[in-house]
Structure 1
Amino acid sequence: MIEHTLTVAGVTVDARHWIGGERVASAETFTDVSPIDGRAIGEIARGTPAQAAAAVAAAKAAFPAWAATPRAERARILHAVADGVEKRLEELAVVETTDNGALLRSHRRGVMPRVAHNFRFFADWLLKLDHEDFETRGHTNHVSWDPAGPSVLITPWNAPLMLATWKVAPALAAGNTVVLKPAEWSPLTASLLADIAAEAGLPAGVLNVVQGYGSEIGDALTSHPDVRRISFTGSVPTARRIAASAAAHLTPLSLELGGKSPLLVFADADLDLAVDLAVEQYDNAGQVCLAATRILVEDSVAEEFTRRFVEKAGQLTQGDPREEAADIGPTIHPRQLEKIDGFVRRALDAGARAVIGGHRKDGRYYAPTLLTGVTQDSEIVQEEVFGPVLTLQTFTTEDEAVRLANDTRFGLAATLATGDRARAERVTARLVAGTVWVNCFFVRDLRAPFGGSRQSGVGREGGSWSFDFYCDLKNTVTAPNGWSQDHG
């Protein structure tokens, strides 16, 4: 007998889909396993193409009424969703830590408050979304943002709820309806979000959640003729499949993909700050697309930088992410752990040296690793590992630093440590990246555009850029006369 509800860290979570305002079971399930101890959390409804299509149908049916809902009312409901998130913040935090292994203290203090902020921000931005009218030879141009329609949102496992709501909130604010497909390795908080949204008064069918494997239901979602927008965060190979699937109907895509971001450390930088920035890249066990995994250090300070890095990294505590003292948790899945270890073993076989780490630990933990002796064309430098593995290379000149930084197929982010403002301006202007941080890291503002260059993505979201994507922009041009009736 299939159990429809699970108890996760004392919290009840429904394991079924959420379609058209109702819980929907599947004949088959998949097992959700906690990366903390490898124990099964429970069985999750395994979606079928028919259920994916049903979710799109529910979104299509709900779209006209939601699109016609006044902006102020949509914003009110989104604020109510944020209230619900804040009310259940502790429950969301403990469930997500159990499900994906990220630090509980981070979920409590940063991630879940950010989830609520995502809804509040886009609700407020909706109310001020406007473009000043302008004239052309006496004719008035008026720009409007029309809701596009049902949107399929496919989200990753490394920050499940935060990254889901980064998409869900603007899509709903724009007047679109949503089918959310969470990653199968971390589906639980998406189910809780469905409950919270329903309690907040979001109409049935406006938000739908379908769980399962992308290989089984992905094409049914991304190739559906009634889907008007697709937003995906994940790997480049999966993005290629989604783009090919969406091509039949020319469905607009927003893709936030992988990264191999550099951290450039110049000799004039505050070395303690630079070391702090470098060690911070181990956050979430290195399972962060924005992580600056390629450390590029000016050769005159490389030895001292490395010494301080080893000392600082040695202070990190790796262990149970539910413990307050933990700095690094586990890798989410045995398959991911094997992938990380494979990258490192091949790099060591090719001549790299592990200054720290370079090996697995008990369970699903991988030791924080720093590799030196790597070449620019090596796999470990060119390919995304998505684990706690950094490489260190040196440079002599500013031109060489920029060349090395830009010499991958990615362009998601870059971080720069320097004490010279003019150098910072020169270098950032030449870096290929969607986001550049100077003497800081991971400072994110929802007003800013976010996305990647090259194979790190297509499009930008955030602020008005999100509404530009989730809406059909319309320009209405009106003649100054010709009215047979004018009621003022």
Structure 2
Amino acid sequence: MISYAQYIDGKDVEGQRWTYVVRASALLRDVDSAFNLKRGLELGRTTEITDDVVARCAVGTVADSDRALEAARRASRAYRLLPQETRSRIMLEFNEALTARADELIDLLIAEGHPRRLAQWEVSGMLRGTDEATIRWYESQLRQSFEVEGKPLELVRKPDGVVCVNPPQNAAGSNSTMAVFALLVGNAVVVKAPRSSPLGVMFVFRDVLAPILERHGAPPGTLNVVCGNAGGILRSWVTSPLVDDILFFGDSEAGLKLGEECLANGKKAILELAGNDGFVVWRDADLDAAARALEECFYGSSQICMVPKYAVLHPEIADEFTRIFLDRVRTLRPGYPEDPETLLSPVLKVDKFFDFIAEAREAGGEVLCGGQRVDVDGEPSTRGMFCEPTVVRVDGLQRAGGLSLVREETFFPLLPLVVPESAPDEQLFERVVDFVDGNLYGLRNSLWTGDPDLARHFAESVTNGGTLKINDSHIGFNSVLSTHGGTGRTGGPYGELNYAGLRTSHLQGISWGDGDPRPLDPRVLTAGETAGERARG
């Protein structure tokens, strides 16, 4: 069994108690026995450690978080002075170390309940998002030098100071990696590991990153990892004078409210909230390739922000594409996370799943497949932890826009296929663009088409979202392009493609003079009058 303490001010710090990670497959085999084992260990009713107990992590208090903030504030003053070359080297070595230990991390994520294919995808994003091409691009943005009329000028991004990171429970390990970009630009960080899924976070920061920081002379307190009550710790972050930025992952309602509270307390909120991604298939698309890409919507039973949540199909290919897509969907089955063929995860919001289906049916939507609650073997069960991958056809953009399964983020395997009314292509194109841009959320959007001119027109027309994919994997990651970020209810009023290193820093201009103060532009001085004479006058 792995055991992690909290990590504060360069030291391992015990908590008041432990939270235990019981292998997810054990919960699927016998939920009552596995849950009783977990709770028994946490409450001290048993000391039996079976093979299904993977790890334990110390759970601390708000006071532990406050000590971490104090350590981070002290460290930030010295860490920001490390040369950028050193901070970049830390990030590149982090990428190298994570690459070498990727299989270990994948196994830990599987133990926490991530299907192997999902865990592999998450780790691929962590590696692509911190690769050398991305780090070098960041360097190009952090300092720029100019010379104008013989005067040296600089634009430099300076770290904000102390950045606190609250990753989501459903993908804590991978999303918490955004903190490394705050470190890249010179901030100190405090990361809160969720009590329900702390293992990936602890591994990434305690086992992989902390030794690299220490080796390069980062002061103690540069990195801190705590675990505790989310509400109490977040409240302390919002009100603490030691905190500059809060990177928050969560649902839109809670995140937007937190953003208001941060603003009222003079802090910068960087929000990664819900997603409701659009996926457009035009009449000249490669339908087989588009269907493979749209299947990504069911990764983790769609309980991931950046998977497609609705598709818009050109009327001319709607029937053919639907047939191809359904052939793929019907092969998807629940299973244990260790199984490399498993794509689905247990579903948390089962009630809304059935509510959304019922609403769609009442409005004339057609359920094409799925719609039931099932167990790990795929058999119908009122107590099953899974939901069948479900596809609903909705005809008409206006009708679709009024339905919850299209208008809101769905966090369960329910995909609406929206078929607009037939119209000339130019009119239809404009209606589809308006539909995509009218989405209240804005994480990612996709287009599949064989027409390069239409693809370019779409790319220039659509403003919604932080990322736009053209004939590409919707969930795939690319060097330089940030893995996160969006507009609307996804990123809040300041949302965009989220380069966390830029968002946790601020731009400062530096002018290097020659010792002769000249506050006025010499072009406005009268003939024969020197700047010194004008100043004395």
Range class of TM-score, shorter chain: 0.7 to 0.9
CA drift of 1:117 comes to 4.6
Distance in 1 (CA, whole Å) between partners of 2:62 and 2:144 is 44
SS in 1 for 2:306: coil
| 2:525 counterpart residue number | none
1:372 equivalenced with 2:387 (yes/no): no
My pick for the range that moved more, 241-250 or 134-143, is 134-143
CA drift of 1:189 comes to 1.1
My pick for the range that moved more, 431-440 or 465-474, is 465-474
Distance in 2 (CA, whole Å) between partners of 1:163 and 1:247 is 23
Q: CA RMSD in A?
A: 2.6
CA drift of 1:390 comes to 0.4
2:372 maps to a residue whose letter is H
| 2:168 counterpart residue number | 156
2:111 maps to a residue whose letter is T
| 1:72 counterpart residue number | 85
What is the TM-score with the length of structure 1 in the denominator? 0.86
Distance in 1 (CA, whole Å) between partners of 2:213 and 2:514 is 43
Deviation per CA, 1:117-154, whole angstroms, max 9, x where unpaired?
A: 54444654565555443345554321122222110111
1:82 equivalenced with 2:95 (yes/no): yes
1:441-452 equivalent positions in 2, closer than 5 A = 441-449=474-482, 450-452=484-486
What is the TM-score with the length of structure 2 in the denominator? 0.79
Asked whether the equivalents of residues 142 and 156 of structure 2 are also in contact (C-alpha less than 8 Å), the reply is yes
CA drift of 1:228 comes to 1.5
Distance 1:408 1:58, change over 3 A: same
| 1:4 counterpart residue number | none
Distance in 1 (CA, whole Å) between partners of 2:434 and 2:92 is 46
Distance in 2 (CA, whole Å) between partners of 1:124 and 1:403 is 36
CA drift of 1:348 comes to 4.1
Q: Find the structure with the greater CA-based Rg.
A: 2
My pick for the range that moved more, 118-127 or 391-400, is 118-127
Unaligned runs of 5+ in 1: 1-6, 484-488
Distance 1:343 1:58, change over 3 A: farther
CA drift of 1:191 comes to 1.1
Q: Select the residue among 197, 222, 226 that pairs with 1:206.
A: 222
CA drift of 1:338 comes to 4.1
Distance 1:50 1:60, change over 3 A: same
Distance in 1 (CA, whole Å) between partners of 2:75 and 2:341 is 46
Asked whether the equivalents of residues 295 and 391 of structure 1 are also in contact (C-alpha less than 8 Å), the reply is yes
CA drift of 1:370 comes to 0.5
| 2:372 counterpart residue number | 359
Deviation per CA, 1:149-202, whole angstroms, max 9, x where unpaired?
A: 11011112333222211x122111111111112344321111112132233243
Distance in 1 (CA, whole Å) between partners of 2:344 and 2:252 is 25
1:407 equivalenced with 2:438 (yes/no): yes
1:27 equivalenced with 2:16 (yes/no): yes
Distance in 2 (CA, whole Å) between partners of 1:237 and 1:31 is 30
Distance in 2 (CA, whole Å) between partners of 1:404 and 1:129 is 34
Asked whether the equivalents of residues 118 and 300 of structure 2 are also in contact (C-alpha less than 8 Å), the reply is no
1:433 equivalenced with 2:465 (yes/no): yes
2:346 maps to a residue whose letter is T
| 1:468 counterpart residue number | 502
| 1:290 counterpart residue number | 306
CA drift of 1:443 comes to 3.5
Asked whether the equivalents of residues 151 and 512 of structure 2 are also in contact (C-alpha less than 8 Å), the reply is yes
Distance in 1 (CA, whole Å) between partners of 2:355 and 2:57 is 30
1:231 equivalenced with 2:247 (yes/no): yes
Q: Select the residue among 302, 310, 334 that pairs with 2:326.
A: 310
1:56 maps to a residue whose letter is L
2:471 maps to a residue whose letter is N
CA drift of 1:260 comes to 1.4
Distance 1:112 1:409, change over 3 A: closer
| 1:140 counterpart residue number | 152
Distance 1:282 1:473, change over 3 A: same
Distance in 2 (CA, whole Å) between partners of 1:25 and 1:338 is 39
Distance in 2 (CA, whole Å) between partners of 1:258 and 1:139 is 47
Distance in 2 (CA, whole Å) between partners of 1:407 and 1:482 is 55
Deviation per CA, 1:332-386, whole angstroms, max 9, x where unpaired?
A: 6xx4344444433444455533211112111422211111246321111111112
Asked whether the equivalents of residues 62 and 233 of structure 2 are also in contact (C-alpha less than 8 Å), the reply is yes
Q: Select the residue among 260, 264, 270 that pairs with 1:248.
A: 264
My pick for the range that moved more, 124-133 or 285-294, is 124-133
Asked whether the equivalents of residues 265 and 416 of structure 1 are also in contact (C-alpha less than 8 Å), the reply is yes
1:331-350 equivalent positions in 2, closer than 5 A = 331=346, 335-348=348-361
CA drift of 1:289 comes to 1.1
| 1:456 counterpart residue number | 490
| 2:231 counterpart residue number | 215
Asked whether the equivalents of residues 415 and 436 of structure 1 are also in contact (C-alpha less than 8 Å), the reply is yes
Q: Select the residue among 371, 381, 391 that pairs with 2:406.
A: 381
| 1:18 counterpart residue number | 7
Distance in 2 (CA, whole Å) between partners of 1:459 and 1:378 is 25
1:178-189 equivalent positions in 2, closer than 5 A = 178-189=189-200
| 2:381 counterpart residue number | none
Asked whether the equivalents of residues 466 and 497 of structure 2 are also in contact (C-alpha less than 8 Å), the reply is no
Asked whether the equivalents of residues 405 and 414 of structure 2 are also in contact (C-alpha less than 8 Å), the reply is no
1:48 maps to a residue whose letter is T
Distance 1:213 1:429, change over 3 A: farther
| 2:109 counterpart residue number | 96
Q: Select the residue among 184, 194, 203 that pairs with 1:192.
A: 203
Asked whether the equivalents of residues 281 and 293 of structure 1 are also in contact (C-alpha less than 8 Å), the reply is yes
Distance in 2 (CA, whole Å) between partners of 1:280 and 1:22 is 41
Distance in 1 (CA, whole Å) between partners of 2:127 and 2:3 is 19
Distance in 1 (CA, whole Å) between partners of 2:367 and 2:249 is 31
1:330 maps to a residue whose letter is S
Distance in 1 (CA, whole Å) between partners of 2:407 and 2:151 is 53
Asked whether the equivalents of residues 47 and 217 of structure 1 are also in contact (C-alpha less than 8 Å), the reply is no
1:477 equivalenced with 2:511 (yes/no): yes
My pick for the range that moved more, 367-376 or 80-89, is 80-89
Distance in 2 (CA, whole Å) between partners of 1:378 and 1:127 is 45
Distance in 2 (CA, whole Å) between partners of 1:32 and 1:345 is 36
CA drift of 1:220 comes to 1.0
Distance in 2 (CA, whole Å) between partners of 1:123 and 1:272 is 35
Distance in 2 (CA, whole Å) between partners of 1:116 and 1:304 is 37
Distance in 2 (CA, whole Å) between partners of 1:111 and 1:325 is 16
| 1:170 counterpart residue number | 181
Asked whether the equivalents of residues 74 and 123 of structure 1 are also in contact (C-alpha less than 8 Å), the reply is no
Identity of aligned residues (%): 25
